[in-house]
Homo-oligomer: A and B are copies of this chain.
Amino acid sequence: MEEVFTHFFRPRGVVVVGASGDPAKLGYALTRNLINSGYEGGIHLVNPKGGTLLGLPLYRTIQEIPDPVDLAVILVPAPAVPESLTQCGKRGIPAAIIATGGFRETGAEGAALEKECLAVANQYHMRLIGPNCIGLIDTHLPLDTTFLQPPPPTPGEVAFVSHSGAVCAAIIDWIRGQGFGLSYLVSLGNQVDVNETDVLPAVAADKHTKVVTLYMESVSNGRRFVRTAAETSKNTPLVALKVGRFESGRKAAASHTGALAGAEVAFEAAFRRAGVLRATTTEEMFQWARALAWCPVPKGPKVAVLTNAGGPGVTAADAIESFGLQLAQLSAKTEAGLKTLLPPAASLHDPVDMLASATPEQYAGCLKILLEDDGVDNVLVILPPPPPSTAGAVVKAMLPQIQNSDKPVVFALMGERMIQEAMELLRAAKVPEYRFPEASASALAALYRRSEILKRLQEPEIVPVNLETKKFHEDFETIHSGEWLPADAAFDLLQAYGIPGLKLALAATDQEAGKLAGELGFPLVLKVASADISHKSDVGGVLLNIGSVTEAIDGFNIVVDNARKANPTARIDGVHLQRMLPNGQDVITGVIQDAQFGPLVMFGSGGVEVEGLKDVAFALAPLTASDGEYLLEGTWAGRKLRGFRNLPPADRHAVLDTLFRLAQLAAEFPELAEVEINPLRALADGKGVFAVDVRIRKG
């Protein structure tokens, strides 16, 4: 942990600036919570009136506080905050939480006040959390700097970092009924200094924290967040709820790529690269977090469902498939084992239906057999009320099997009153239970995605070429900001990165035609270059299927001669050469600069489809191997490169390679606002790709 966060998270002493004896005031509540939290360091209270509060002296000034003190929690009225901070600075306090509201969130005046706070902090090398925040809670240290109504959160393994204070208050109260607790809670408020990225490593490094949940309204520095989160999630699962999806809006842009990008796809790509599981609702984030905190990481997506009733078993099977998991194929040995335990009418395939008569022993025995099957990665146990034995007895019988296994087991404990004992037993044993099979399957899907993330986080970014790009850089500098590159320059830039383009080259002489032909490759088309001749093929001014340098040289003279004969007075500039492309699959790929996360590579269906169907995917540049696969497998444009029905396969490998090269280009030219190759034609397998058209705009 950075030293500064030790001051926040492991302070040797805390001072409350604005402690109040009035129980109706937040300064009272904060003091009470801090004392009640059981915090073992020095607790110091400041109030200019003096006196005592809850058995502690009220110092009149910050100067008077005895050593050691690392953290100030400030709750004086907003206009008085800069002065309090100054006093803290002079006193040598390295960290402060400004709980007070009335800053940037209230308008320009508050924003100015906030800037003043930051200036003071910088002067004294202090770090600030807030203002306009709830502060932080460490349930294990313990430490509670909030003014929230008691009781405080139950100690647990889930850390919660939030941009919203109101959501903190709600979550503390809500999870009380959910059977799990918090390790940390950090409310960041206006983030004048410390932001979500800053606290992430510190919170994750805590030994009690098994998973970090994030309620995010924005990101402070996109790329830094990605780096930090990726590093953090190697050891600790991260789950985020990013809100403000629809607020961000999509700006009209000149290209398809631009129109399709926007804050949302960038966040999506960033979370993917950083290994952050993205939840779609608040509840889902915490239901996943519980499973991530308590369960081992599964080896795969195969789920065995163990039930005593058909209906919920079918519901579970549906949910398993809809979340991208699979029902297990049980081995013959497993089925034989189950058969010895169950009545003849029981179903021995997944979902395993033991029938309504299932006893605790049958539940436990079948679970043991399923957990021993190599084809089973996870077990989802369904327990609807009332089993012939109580749900509690069933759980008691199963717990030893669950605790001895390295495979995740989650429960759908269906009901309310009749499952209370079972629920409490499972919560005490840290086995995730949900009310319905759908939520249980969703939790298993989160665990499986975590296993995939752990693999992805090992991957390096792919840099397929290492070229002398300086030349293009110099050309590039002559282009004004916001302008499009001339077509030739754009194709040259692609070519420098090994992406072949369908250039139109002009040869002034037959020898030049031969040279250019050698560079462009074959077959070629030759076309007389003359503005004065409109129907070029009618006069023999076009030659198709030029297959060699010699043919190109001869061809030059033929088309020029034909043109001269037809129109002796025409001005002839020479001959245009262009590769003739065979049929293939046309896709679109490009690069866009996101204001938060920098360059993103885009891939999808070309033409009008790309916008209408949104068959498009984005990833951060440069790409990892799995980013590349994601761009292809996440789009129909990419999937059909393998061929589909009567559509022959195209050169998927070359397309993938192009994406890596384009990503490198994007990463090396941050000045590029947009690159769009539209279409990129993927030829038959093994024949490569061509950028048929390209547009590049400088930012």
Q: For the A-B complex with A167-B315, A282-B436 known, give 11 more contacts whose Cβ atoms are closer than 8 Å.
A: A105-B310, A166-B309, A166-B414, A173-B414, A173-B416, A177-B417, A245-B322, A283-B435, A608-B645, A609-B609, A611-B644
Cβ of A582 within 8 Å of any chain B Cβ, yes or no, is: no
User: What residues of chain B lie closer than 8 Å to A163, measured between beta carbons?
Assistant: 311
For A241, A309, A344, the residue with the greatest tally of chain B CB atoms inside 10 Å of its CB is: A309
**Residue of B whose beta carbon sits closest to that of A102:** B345
Query: Within residues 146 to 187 of chain A, which ones have a CB less than 8 A from any CB in chain B?
Result: 148-149, 151, 162-167, 169-170, 173-177
Cβ of A615 within 8 Å of any chain B Cβ, yes or no, is: yes
Cβ of A106 within 8 Å of any chain B Cβ, yes or no, is: yes
C-alpha gap A148/B417 in the complex (Å): 13
**Which A residues fall within an 8 A CB radius of B?**
101-102, 105-107, 110, 148-149, 151, 162-167, 169-170, 173-177, 215, 217, 241, 243-247, 280-283, 308-312, 314-315, 317-319, 321-322, 344-345, 356, 384-386, 414-419, 435-439, 608-609, 611-613, 615, 636, 639-640, 644-647
Residue of B241, B317, B319, B640 touching A247 (CB-CB under 8 A): B317
* A149-B386, A177-B416, A318-B243 as given contacts; A308 in contact with B105, CB under 8 Å: no
Residue of B101, B244, B312, B322 touching A356 (CB-CB under 8 A): B101
A170 touches B217 (CB 8 A): no
B309 touches A164 (CB 8 A): yes
C-alpha gap A438/B385 in the complex (Å): 29
User: What residues of chain B lie closer than 8 Å to A149, measured between beta carbons?
Assistant: 385-386, 418
User: What residues of chain B lie closer than 8 Å to A165, measured between beta carbons?
Assistant: 309, 311
User: What residues of chain B lie closer than 8 Å to A105, measured between beta carbons?
Assistant: 310, 345
User: What residues of chain B lie closer than 8 Å to A418, measured between beta carbons?
Assistant: 149, 173
A283 touches B318 (CB 8 A): no
State how many angstroms separate the Cβ of A74 from the closest Cβ of chain B.
18
**Residue of B whose beta carbon sits closest to that of A441:** B281
Residue of B244, B246, B281 touching A436 (CB-CB under 8 A): B281
A176 touches B646 (CB 8 A): no
State how many angstroms separate the Cβ of A411 from the closest Cβ of chain B.
13
User: What residues of chain B lie closer than 8 Å to A321, measured between beta carbons?
Assistant: 245-246
Residue of B164, B247, B311, B417 touching A166 (CB-CB under 8 A): B311
State how many angstroms separate the Cβ of A462 from the closest Cβ of chain B.
27
User: What residues of chain B lie closer than 8 Å to A282, measured between beta carbons?
Assistant: 315, 436-438
**Residue of B whose beta carbon sits closest to that of A436:** B282
**Residue of B whose beta carbon sits closest to that of A414:** B170
State how many angstroms separate the Cβ of A52 from the closest Cβ of chain B.
27
**Residue of B whose beta carbon sits closest to that of A167:** B311
State how many angstroms separate the Cβ of A441 from the closest Cβ of chain B.
10
C-alpha gap A353/B320 in the complex (Å): 39
B148 touches A386 (CB 8 A): yes
**Residue of B whose beta carbon sits closest to that of A175:** B416
State how many angstroms separate the Cβ of A323 from the closest Cβ of chain B.
11
